Structure 1
Amino acid sequence: MKNCYLFFVLMGMLFPATVFAQHQKNTDKNSIVMVVGKPLTRRDSVIVDELFYQALREKTMENGKNAATLFSQVLEIDPANAAGMYELARIRNSENKDEEARQLLEKAVTVSPENEWYWLALAGNYEKINDIPKLENVFKELIRINPEKPEYYSNQARALVMEKKYDEALSAYNQLETRFGKNEESISGKQKIYLKQGKLDLATKDLEQMIRENPMETRPYLQLAELYNSNNQNDKALKVLESAGKNNPDDALIHLALADVYRDKKDYAACFNQLKTAFAFPSLKIEEELRIISGYFPKFPDPEAKSGALELSRIVSVAHPEDARAFTVYGDMLVQNASYVQAIPVYKKSLALNDQTYAVWEQVMRLELGENQFDQVIKDGEEVLSLFPNQAVANYLVGVAYAQKSRVKEALSYFKNAISLGNTNKDLLSQAYSGIGDSYHQLKDDKQSDAAYEQSISNNPDNAYTLNNYAYYLSLRGEKLDRAAEMSRHSNELQPNTASFEDTYAWVLFRQKKYAEAKTWIEKAIGHNKNSAGLAEHYGDILYFLNDTALAVKYWKTAKQLGGNSVALERKINEKKYSE
C-alpha cells in the first residue's frame, strides 16, 4: 500500500492542487486544499467499492438522502476518493448546499486533475455563486485537458470580459479563431470588447471583411448596420443597408433594419414605408410581424398609431392568408379603429381557418349584438357552444339575443346556464340575473323578477342597468318607492347624463309626489334626448300636477307627434287631464 500513498504524493507534485497557484500552507479561503490519501487495506478497498455501488443504486432510485450517507461513508474510509466527492457534490448541489458542493469538487480536481467532468461540475458551481476569477481559471484547466472544445475558449473569454480583462479576453477569442476559424460568437464577442474600449473601427473590421468575402450574405450587413446605428452613425448604417438591398432586394430583414434606422433618424414616414415593404414578404415570420404591431399598442388611442397598426395588420392578412392569427390581429385593429361592421367578416375568416380560439368567437358575438344581428348571434352562439359548452359568457350573449327577439323562455334558459357556469364571475352573474329579472318582468312575474334583480345587485351593487330597470318597474307599480329612489339616484351617479336613467329618477320622484324635483330631472332627460315620446309624455304628466295644464297638454301633443300612440295618451289630450 506504500505505492498508493506515493501515487498521491507524486500527483500533488506534478499538478499544483489549486485553481489558483498557492503554497501548501496557504490559509486563504479561496484556495483549494491538497487532499492526500491514506493507505487502504484490501478489506477497506472492498468496503469502499461496495459502499460506492450501493450509493449509486440509491441515487438511481432517487433516494438522495441514503445515497449521500453512503458516499459520505466512502469518504470516511477513503478521503481521496474523487468519484465519491464528485457524486456527493452533485447531491449537495441539488440540495442547494453550494458551499459544501464547492469544497468537495475542489478536492476532487486535486485528486483527479485530468478529469474533465469534475472541472465542468466545478465550473457550474463557480458560475452559480458568481465567482468569476475562479471560473476563468477553471476554463484554463479545461482547455489544457481538452483543447478541442471551442466552447471552453469562448467561456473563458466571457469570464475575462466580466473581470474587465479585455486584452486577455481578446487573446482568448483570437486563440479560438486560430484553432477553429472565425464564427459569429467570436466576432460578436470581440465587437463587444472593442465597443467597450471605444474602438468602433476595430469592431466593424471583421464584418467589413466578411462582406467583402461574401457580398451576397445578408447577416453581416445587418450586424454592421446595427453597430453603426447603435453608435449614432445613422448615415453609415443607411449606406450599408442600401448596399445590402441592391444585392437582396426581397430580404424583409433588410427593410426592417432600414425601418429601425429611419425611426432613429425620426423620419417616421420612411420608417413606416419600410415596415410596409417588409410586411408584404411572406418570408417574414408572422410572429415577428405580430411583435411589431404589438409595439403600437402602448401608443393607443393616438389615431396615427391606430391607423398604422391597422394598415400593417391588413398587409399581414394578405401576406399570410392561411394563418388564422393574421385575421385575428386584423380584426382586432379594425375594432380599435371603430370599424365594427368590417371586423365581423375578418374575424370569421380567422375562425374558418381555426375555430378553436374561443376569444374570437366571443368577440364576433359581441360585435353582432352591437349591430343588432340577433339571429346571427344565436346561430354563432349555438355553434360556439357545441365547441365550448362550458363558456358562461357565450350562454349569456345568446340569452341577450333571444331577449331582444322577445323569446323570453329561450332567453331565461341561456341566462340560467350562464349563472350555473359562471359562479365565480361576479360581473357576469350580475348581468345574467339582470337578464332574468327583465325576462320575468315581461312574463309579469313580479316576484321572480324582483328576486332576480336583488341577486344582480348583490353580485354587483354598481350595476347601473339593473338599478335603473328595477327602480323603474317598482315605480310603475308604486311599490318600495324609497328603495326605488335610492337605486335610481345611484344609477345616475354611476352614469350621469343618461336620458333614460334621468327619466326613471324623475318618474320615481313623480310617484313620490315630489313634482318640483321630478320636473328638474325630466328636463335634464329631455336636454339629453329631445326626440323621445316617452320623455315628452312624462314631462306633460309632471307639469299637470304642477298646475300648468296648458303646457302639459302641449307636451302630451308633442309626445303624440313623436310617435306616442297609447290610449292613455289620447285620453290625456282629449280630456286635458292626467290619466294612467
Structure 2
Amino acid sequence: MIIQILVKMSKIYIFLFFTSVLFAQDSSMNRQDRKYCNTYFLAEKYKMLDDYELALKKYMECIKLYPDEPSAYFEVAKILFANSNYEDAITYVNKAAEIEPNNKWHLFLLIQLYSSQFDYESEAKTWENLLEIEPFNIEFYFDCAIAYLEMGDLKKALKTLSNYEKNVGYNEDIFSLKSKIFNEQEDYKKQVKVLEKGIAIFPNSILLLEDLAKYYIQKSEYDLANSIYSKIVKINPNNSTALLASYTILKNKNRTEDSKKILKKVIDSPNINEQKKQEILYEIMVKEEELNFYYNDIPYLFESCISLYPQSSFFYTVLADFYSLDKQYLLARDNYFKALQLEKNSSVIWERYIYMSLLQNNYNQAVIDSDLAIEKFPLQGSFYYYKGLSQFYQEKYRSAVATLNSGLLYIIDDNWLLTVVYETLGNAYHELAELDSSQEYHNMSDESYEKALSYSPNNPYILNNYSYYLSLRGENLQLAKDMIEKCISLSTSPNPSFMDTYAWVLYKLENYTEAEKIIKKCIDFGGNSAIIYEHYGDILMGLGLTNKAILQWEKALEKEPLNNDLKQKIFKSKND
C-alpha cells in the first residue's frame, strides 16, 4: 500500500514539475488562462489521488471559465462513467464531441457508454461518425456492422460491410460476417454465394472454409461438409476444428478405414487438448460397437496420448483397462504401475494393479502389493480381501482367515465386498476343516456362507459351494438340495460344475436314478474332470452297475493318475 502511494505521489510531483515549467515559460497567458490551467491541473492532481469528488468540482470550475473547451467535459464524462452515472456522462461527452467533432477519443467513450446501456442504435450512429474520420479503418466498419446486428437491422449491417468493400477492398472477415447475416435472414443462396466468392478470392482462408462447412452441416449435407474439412486439413494438418468435425461426421456414418485415419490424426494433433482426447477415447472404451471397431488401434491411440501427455495418469490407466479386457495381464499391470507413479494415492488404481497379479496367479506379488496398499490405506477393507484371497490360493488358510477377519473391521455398507470376504472365509474354514476334521471349522465355514448369502442371496457360486460342502459331509442335505436347485435356476446357461453338485447331492440323498440323469447332462454340457467321472462311477455303483461304475472311475484315473484313493476303489470293486 505504501509503495502504491509513493508511486502515485512521484507521478504527481513529476506532473507539477512540468506544469510549473510550462507556466514559467509561457508569459503570454492572461489571468483567466492561468486560472483555468491552474484549476485544470488541480483537477488532474485530485484525479490521480482518487479524490474524484474534488476532481469533479475543479473540472466543473474549468467548464465555467471556458465553456467551449472540450477537455474538461471529457474528463467529467469519464468520472461520471466510472461512477455509473451513464446519463450525465453521455451528456458531457456529447458536449465535448460537439465542440471537437473530429476527436475520436470522445467518440470511443461515447460508444462505450451507449454499449453499456444497450443503446445499439446510438452506438451504430457513433461508429458512422468515426468512419467519417477514418474511412479506411476495417475495425470501425466491422464494429459498426455488429452494432446494427445487435439492434436487429440486418440491412444496415450489410450496407456497412458493402461500403467497406467499395471504399477499401475485400476482406475475409467481412465475407464471413456477411455470410452470417444472410444465414440469419435465411437467405441461404446468398450465403453460399458470398462464401464461394470469398473463397475464390481467399482460397486458403480457414475462416471462410469453416463457415462453408458449417453451412453444409446445418443443411445435413455431411459429405460436402467433410470434403471442405478435408481441404482445411490439407492447408493446416493440425486444424482442430476440421479434424474433430471430420471425425464426428465419419463416426456417425458407416465406419470405414477413413474413420480410423482421421481418429489417429485427431489423437496425434498437438492442437486438440488433452481433455477432448480423454472424452473421445473414453466414449470408445465404454461403447461396445465403438470398441470392437477400433479394437486393434487402441494401443496406438493411447501410446500416442502418453507420448504427448506423459504426466497424465488417465491414459496409462485406461490403456491398462484395455489390456486387462484383452487378457494381457502383464501389460495391464505394467501400465497400472506407471499410472501409480503419477497418482500414488489412487486406491482404485492400486486395486486394479493388485488384481492383475491375482489374474496372473502371482499370489506372492499380490500379497506384497496388498501389504504396500494397506500401509497407504489402512482403513480400506478391499486390500485385506485381496491379501486374504491371495493367501487362500497359497494354501495359507490360517493366514487368510486372520487377514480377512481383520479386513471385516473396515468394511461398512459394501455388500459386494462383504459377500466375497465371507465367501472366501467359508472356503478357507472348509479347507482347515479338511486338514484336521474339526467340526468347529465346519461350523465357522457354514456361518461364513450364511453371512455371504445374507448379503447376496442369489449368488450362484456361493449357493453351489455351500451346497457341495454340505453334501461332502452328508449334513443338511435338504438345505443343500434347495440351494443347488436355486443355483441352477439362477444360471443363464448350463454349468457342468453346478450340475455335478446337484447330482452329488441327489446321490447323498440316495436318489440314484435322478442323480444319474443329472450327471449325464453334466457330461453332455462339457463336464469332463476327474471328479465328475468319479461321481458318475459312484452313482452307477449306487444303482448296482459295478462294471459301468469301474469304467467311469478308470476315466477319472486317466485324468488323475496319482489318485491312490481312486485306485483303491477300482481295485476293491474288481475283486469283490
TM range (shorter): 0.5 to 0.7
Corresponding letter in the other structure for 1:230: E
- After superposition, the C-alpha distances for 1:112-160 in whole angstroms (9 at most, x for unaligned) are 774799658625633xx5x432443464477689988756524422432
**Structure 2 counterpart of 1:503, from 461, 464, 485:** 461
Q: Superposition pairs for residues 355-504 of structure 1, below 5 Å?
A: 355-386=310-341, 392-421=347-376, 429=380, 431-443=382-394, 444=397, 445-451=399-405, 453-454=407-408, 457-458=411-412, 461-462=414-415, 464=416, 467-468=419-420, 470-471=422-423, 473-474=425-426, 477=430, 478=442, 479=444, 481=446, 484-488=449-453, 490-491=455-456, 501-504=459-462
- What residue identity is the alignment partner of 1:368? Y
CA deviations over 1:33-55 (Å, ceiling 9, x no partner): xxxxxxxxxxxxxxxxxxxxxx9
Aligned-residue offset at 1:252: 3.3
**Higher Cα Rg, which structure:** 2
- CA apart distance, 1:179: 2.1
In structure 2, how many angstroms separate the alpha carbons of the residues matched to 1:144 and 1:421? Answer: 75
Distance 1:324 1:279 in 2: 12
Determine whether 1:550 maps to 2:504: no
**Residue aligned with 2:411, SS:** helix
CA contact (8 A) 2:93 2:110 kept: yes
> Identity, % of aligned pairs?
13
- Residue 184 of structure 2 corresponds to residue 230 of structure 1: yes
**Pick from 188, 200, 225: which aligns with 1:246?**
200
Q: Given that residues 82 and 111 in structure 1 are in contact (C-alpha distance below 8 angstroms), is that contact kept between their aligned partners in structure 2?
A: no
Match of 2:209 in 1: 255
Give 1:226 deviation, angstroms: 1.0
Query: Is 1:375–1:401's contact at 8 Å kept on the other side of the alignment?
Result: yes
2:186 alignment partner, SS class: coil
Is the CA contact (8 Å cut-off) linking 1:467 and 1:488 kept in structure 2? Answer: yes
- Partner of 2:331: helix, strand, or coil? helix
Asked whether the 8 Å contact 1:437–1:449 carries over to 2, the reply is yes
Q: CA deviation at 1:348?
A: 0.6
In the aligned structure 2, how far is the partner of 1:564 from the partner of 1:469?
Answer: 28
Instruction: Please report how far the alpha carbon of residue 365 of structure 1 lies from its aligned counterpart in structure 2 after TM superposition.
Output: 1.1
**Residue 110 (structure 1) aligns with:** 60
1:323 equivalent to 2:270? Answer: yes
User: Map of 1:142-221 to 2, 5 A cutoff?
Assistant: 150=104, 152-161=106-115, 163=117, 165-195=119-149, 198-211=152-165, 217-221=171-175
Instruction: Give the direction of change, closer, same or farther, for the CA distance of 1:419–1:238 in structure 2 (3 Å limit).
Output: farther
Q: Is the 8 A contact 2:370 2:386 kept in 1?
A: yes
Q: Deviations for 1:174-215, whole angstroms, at most 9, x for unmatched residues?
A: 222222335454334432443455532221123234456777
SS in 2 for 1:372: coil
Q: CA deviation at 1:506?
A: 4.7
Give the AA of the match of 1:514. Answer: L
Q: 2:483 is matched with which residue: 505, 518, 535? A: 518
In the alignment, the residues of structure 2 paired with residue 359 and residue 146 of structure 1 have an alpha-carbon distance, to the nearest angstrom, of 62
Task: Indicate yes or no: 2:219 matched with 1:265.
Answer: yes
Partners of 1:452 and 1:293 lie apart in 2 by 55
Q: CA deviation at 1:88?
A: 6.0
Question: Which amino acid is the alignment partner of residue 503 of structure 1?
Answer: Y
User: 1-side partners of 2:424 and 2:490: how far apart?
Assistant: 15
CA distance in 2, matches of 1:275, 1:452: 61
Distance 2:329 2:367 in 1: 16
After superposition, the C-alpha distances for 1:88-116 in whole angstroms (9 at most, x for unaligned) are: 647xxxxxxxxxx7x56644643677479
- Report deviation, 1:449: 3.9
Per residue, is there more helix in 1 or in 2? Answer: 2
Report the CA distance shift for 1:198/1:502 in structure 2 as closer, same or farther (over 3 A). same
The CA distance in 2 between the partners of 1:148 and 1:138, in whole Å, is 16
Distance in structure 2 (CA, Å) of the matches to 1:262 and 1:174: 35
CA distance in 1 between partners of 2:387 and 2:518 (Å)? 35
Q: TM-score, normalised on structure 1? A: 0.66
Superposition deviation, residue 273 in structure 1:
4.7
Report the CA distance between 1:173 and its aligned residue: 0.8
Q: Cα–Cα, structure 1 residues 436 and 283, in superposed 2: closer, same or farther, change >3 Å? A: same
Paired AA for residue 244 in structure 1: G
Contact residue 207 and residue 220 of structure 1 kept, 8 A? yes
Alpha-carbon distance in structure 2 between the residues aligned to 1:112 and 1:312: 72
Question: Which letter maps to 2:414?
Answer: P
Structure 2: which amino acid aligns with 1:59? Answer: I
Q: Secondary structure at the match of 2:361?
A: coil
In the alignment, what sits opposite 1:29? Answer: none
Deviation, structure 1 residue 571: 3.4
Q: In angstroms, what is the RMSD of aligned CA positions?
A: 4.6
Pairing 1:336-351 to 2, within 5 Å after superposition: 336=287, 337-338=290-291, 339-351=294-306
Alpha-carbon contact 2:179-2:192 (below 8 Å) kept:
yes
Distance in 1 of aligned mates of 2:182 and 2:308? 43
User: Normalising to structure 2: TM-score of the pair?
Assistant: 0.67
> Cα–Cα, structure 1 residues 57 and 403, in superposed 2: closer, same or farther, change >3 Å?
closer
Query: Is 1:573 matched up with 2:520?
Result: no
For the residues of structure 2 that align with 1:432 and 1:117, how far apart are their CA atoms? 73
- In 2, Cα distance between the equivalents of 1:322 and 1:123? 50
Structure 1 residues 283 and 565: alpha-carbon distance in aligned structure 2, compared to 1, 3 A threshold:
closer
Compared with structure 1, are the counterparts of its residues 190 and 224 closer, same or farther at alpha carbon in structure 2 (3 Å cutoff)?
same
Partners of 1:208 and 1:309 in 2: how far apart?
45
**Per-residue deviation, 1:219:** 1.9
Query: Offset of 1:61 from its aligned partner?
Result: 9.6
Quick check: 1:529 aligned with 2:493? yes
Bigger RCO (CA 8 Å, 6+ sep) = 1
Q: Tell whether 2:502 aligns with 1:539.
A: yes
Q: State the distance in 2 between where 1:163 and 1:450 align.
A: 70
- Alignment deviations for residues 303-324 of structure 1 (CA, whole Å, 9 cap, x no partner): 9649789977842643784639
Gap change, CA 1:266 and 1:258, over 3 Å in 2: same
1:430 Cα deviation from its structure 2 partner: 5.2
Query: Which residue identity lines up with residue 365 of structure 1 in the other structure?
Result: A
